[in-house]
Chain A
Amino acid sequence: MKNNKLLLSIFAAVAIIQLAVPLYMAWHWENILQTGQRFYWQTAPVDPYDAFKGRYIDLQFKENTGQFSDIEPLVYGQTAFALIEENAAGKAYITAITGKPPEEHPYIKVKINYIEGSTAHIQLPFKRYYLPENIAAAAESAYRQNASQSGLAAVRIKDGYGVIEELYIGDKTLTEYLRDYIQ
């Protein structure tokens, strides 16, 4: 009986940890979505055969390089920090890449793809946009057609993490655009 009690208490502890993980994840990203700073990222054209994996759009961004400002060299695969600002048109751009997180400036954690002179090519951490199954095909072709001209992703950024809030084509959200597009 004592053994059984112990087993059940261990089970309860495990169950709490199991619940804590998805709850923590949800809280973490919800917090960024609510309180993070919003930036608009211009999307770039994608390989038409690779744009769509399963039921999400594989996003590419025009801003994927930055000058690195540290003396210590960055290497492939390393985690680095991209400093972000808004240009006159209200679009996000990368001002610099550093090896350490800045104290005040908005920034995002990135992975270094490769280095070319003093330019670091990076991979932004937000690159998927999950879609409902029934609008997936329409969204795919709409995104393909417009990604390079008028595609925009609104991303909330906080403490180095970014979460996509909405995907825009022109001034409409993807859902609004698709509603008109399908009609």
Chain B
Amino acid sequence: MNKKAIGWLYQELPELVNKGILSSETAEKIKMHYGPIEETQGTRTFLMVFGIIGVLLVGLGIILLIAHNWDQLSRVSRLTISVGLLIAAQLTSGLVLYFKKESRIWRESAGILHLLTIGAAIALVGQTYHLTEDTDTFLLTWMLLSLPLIYLLRSTSVAAMYLVGITFWSASVHIYLEKQLIWVLLLVVLPYHWQIIKVDRYSNPAVILSWVLNVCFYFCFGAAFSSYINDSGLFIYSTLFAVNYLIGVLWFGSARESWVMPFKLIGLAGVLGSTFMFTFYNIWSQLRLGTNIFSSTEIGLASLLSLLVISGNFLMVKQSNRQNLLFSLAPLIVGVGYLLHSFDSSGISATILMNIYMLFLSLGVIRTGVGNNSIGVVNIGMLMLAALISARFLDMNFSFVIRGLVFITLGLAFLVANWLMVRRKAGEQK
């Protein structure tokens, strides 16, 4: 119920009682039913955001002050400062846990300050002794020491910063085996994510963490595998995005606003983006397929992801949700593209297939938009179509004559479809 409306109702009550429309007992009952007008959700979010930003700025400011490297400070005073700051942050978190355990604003703010101070303390020691510790060791130590705060303080902002931290870490390590540690580092956040999505998967903290988790995942995946994925890359990424999309549709797809469904949005954007890339002839013509060309990592990843796509699609069809199949089956089309390419290595047939698929995708989006009466979705479909058309119009790999003929044929097809629809509409109105 709208708080404003309740406020208005409460204002009206005395007058209604005076005029004898309501008895004073009924008025009391109404008040009991709606309860007192609390601080609104909006104000609370506002306070939370300001609290977090304030603490973040103070923490970053402290780090900058330390980075100035004051030469007046002796080594002992530097150590005292770094340890003192850390103890202060720890005390704050401790007191919050003891006295304000139920206040999210306090937990989030104390968590951020605590996390930043841990980094500052380690960095100050490094600066004092001119340590050449590589970025990766520094980040890993920092993030591992901060990790328990996610669970102890139940802090989403600490979890988000931890995810960003380990993502940077994954980009700065170079050894393959060491890079794979990222999966363990990601895995340890999942129980927290699970906890908050269990309460309400569309609440602000759950949505924000889902966004950060999903975006960071792609950076981590790229860091861990990019140098081991070569010619199967197109397929693997398209499958990965499809899995992402399926997760979104199956478990996070029932909200009204689209921004609260990151898995679905990122998956969809990935499927559309990768499909658009595959409509380019150059991508296919440079693809080399042959025996023994795929590494075991590629084969393993491709099989695992395909299995996930198959089971995801199966689940979706079981829920009698078929309109999303057009997007979630993208890996199947890309797979057929690979198959065609193994017979026709020029890349022409695979390119044509992907162009047809992209055309269907765009039309599918437009149709959904028209069906749901959503101008936004229609526009996205039009944009996709426009991108496809301009990419092909400017494509130097096909002759002008072929492009001209295809464009004219397609244009005529659109006009005929339009004419048929207008006729059908006119028929319905009669």
Contacts and interface: CB of A to CB of B under 8 A. Distances in A.
Contacts of B69: 55, 130-133
Contacts of A25: 122, 125-126, 129, 131
A11 B94 CA distance: 7
A77 B70 CA distance: 35
A23 B78 CA distance: 12
Interface of B is mostly: helix
A76 B354 CA distance: 44
Interface in A1-37: 4, 7-8, 10-12, 14-15, 17-19, 21-23, 25-26, 29-30, 33
A135 to B, nearest CB: 7
B68 interface: yes
Interface residues of A, number: 35
Contacts of A4: 98, 101
A164 B130 contact: yes
Interface in B65-97: 67-71, 75, 79, 82-83, 86-87, 90, 93-94, 97
Contacts of B152: 7, 10-11, 14
Contacts of A97: none
A7 B122 CA distance: 25
B132 interface: yes
Interface string B128-166: 111110000000010001001100100000000000000
A55 B67 contact: yes
B71 A22 contact: no
B151 to A, nearest CB: 9
A143 to B, nearest CB: 14
Interface stretch (A65-73, A82-90, A121-129): A121-129
B121 interface: yes
Given A7-B152, A10-B148, A15 B118 contact: no
A163 interface: yes
B249 to A, nearest CB: 37
Given A15-B90, A19-B83, A25-B125, A175 B145 contact: no
A130 B75 contact: no
Query: What range describes how many residues of B lie at the interface?
Result: 35 or more
A162 B3 CA distance: 66
A21 B119 CA distance: 11
A135 B97 CA distance: 43
Given A17-B145, A19-B87, A21-B145, A132 B130 contact: no
Given A8-B97, A11-B97, A132-B70, A163 B141 contact: no
Contacts of A56: 130
Nearest to B72: A132
B145 A126 contact: no
A132 B94 contact: no
Contacts of A8: 94, 97-98
B296 interface: no
Interface in A27-49: 29-30, 33
Nearest to B147: A14
Contacts of B93: 11, 15
B127 interface: yes
A155 to B, nearest CB: 10
B130 A135 contact: no
Contacts of B126: 25
Nearest to B98: A8
Contacts of A135: 71
A29 B129 contact: yes
Given A15-B93, A18-B86, 16 more contacts: A7-B152, A10-B148, A11-B97, A11-B148, A11-B152, A18-B90, A18-B118, A25-B122, A25-B125, A25-B129, A26-B79, A30-B129, A128-B132, A133-B67, A164-B130, A175-B71
State the 8 A-B residue pairs at the shortest beta-carbon distance, nearest first: A29-B129, A132-B71, A14-B148, A15-B90, A22-B121, A132-B69, A164-B130, A133-B68
Interface of B: 67-71, 75, 79, 82-83, 86-87, 90, 93-94, 97-98, 101, 118, 121-122, 124-132, 141, 145, 148-149, 152, 175
Interface of A: 4, 7-8, 10-12, 14-15, 17-19, 21-23, 25-26, 29-30, 33, 55-56, 77, 125-133, 135, 163-164, 175
